[in-house]
Amino acid sequence: MRAVALLPAAGVGSRFGADVPKQYVRLAGKTVLEHTVDVLLADERIAAVAVVVSPDDAFAATLPLPDRVRCYAVGGSSRAESVRNGLAALLADGTAAADTPVLVHDAARCCLPPDALARLLAHADAPHGALLAVPLADTLKRADARGDIETTVPRERLWQAQTPQLFQAALLQRALSGGLDGITDEASAVERLGLRPRLVMGDSRNIKLTRPEDADLARALLGN
């Protein structure tokens, strides 16, 4: 099996608040994007990495990215739109065919453990696709409008979705061809088709850099 990885990397990182988009922040000797690319290319089942950047991106071209990485300046106004545009570009230039497994992974998840990636790739034949996720570890509260607790939500069978999320290119394209409102990950688009992607055990170290304090955690996980 030879999969193609698709990395949405067209966000601005407003919650992270650095002076460059968070995928270009340097941690442990390299940018976040380079760490993410390296962990994916270390698995020989990944044939190519497609990075979706913003049309006015000025950073990606300055990085020493490996040959098997190609940047597509087709980022959209939401993550889902960036993924949809990137997938269309991959299919148009022949990097992926309809039956190619496409693994979508947030550029901002630079600490993906290789064994979690391997667990997901072992499910490449799941008929409705598969994604890394972790069962909820904390008690879950729903707030009222004032910020007081309205109720405690039973956490039984609740999982937190991570990336990568792996789907056959044609299925993903079909799933993203509808409206993108409320689509916060690829699995939710596939669920909307009435299908049930498989949950594969992720890893709590697979953090998504979101807020400034996540940088310390990522540095510790990356070993510097």
Binding site for ligand LQXTBERG (CB under 6 A): 79, 106, 161-163, 184-185, 208
What residue 107 binds from ligand CTP, ligand LQXTBERG, none (CB within 5 to 8 A, per partner kind)?
Answer: ligand CTP
Tell how strand 140-143 and strand 69-72 pair up. Answer: unpaired
Report whether 120 contacts 181 (CB < 8 A): no
Is 106 a binding residue for ligand CTP by CB under 6 A? The answer is yes
- Tell me which of ligand LQXTBERG, ligand CTP, none is bound by residue 168, counting a contact when its beta carbon lies within the kind-specific cut-off of 5 to 8 angstroms: none
Taking the complex as a whole, the smallest distance from the CB of residue 107 to ligand LQXTBERG amounts, in Å, to: 11
Residue of closest CB approach to ligand CTP: 11
* Residue 184: CB minimum distance to ligand LQXTBERG, A: 4
Q: One-letter amino acid identity for 149? A: I
Q: Kindly state the smallest distance separating residue 63's Cβ from ligand CTP, in Å.
A: 15
Interacting residues of 172 by C-beta distance below 8 A, sequence separation 6+: 83, 87, 102, 104, 129, 186, 189, 190
Q: Among all chains, which residue has been given the structure tokens 């940018």?
A: 31
To the nearest whole angstrom, how small is the minimum distance from the Cβ of residue 157 to ligand CTP?
25
Side-chain-side CA neighbours of residue 143 (13 Å) = 4
The residue range among 39-47, 71-79, 148-156, 199-207 that interacts with ligand CTP, by the rule CB under 6 A, is 71-79
Candidates 82, 100, 165, 206: give the one binding ligand CTP (CB under 6 A): 82
Q: Are 105 and 40 in contact (CB under 8 A)?
A: yes
Q: Which is nearer to ligand CTP, 17 or 194 (by Cβ)?
A: 17
CA distance readout (Å), 88 to 9, 35, 36, 162: 16, 25, 22, 23
Told to check if 84 binds ligand CTP by CB under 6 A, we report: no
Q: Which two tokens stand for residue 25?
A: 């922040």
State which residue, 60 or 209, has the beta carbon closest to ligand LQXTBERG: 209
- Please give the span between the terminal C-alpha atoms of the chain, in angstroms, as a whole number: 34
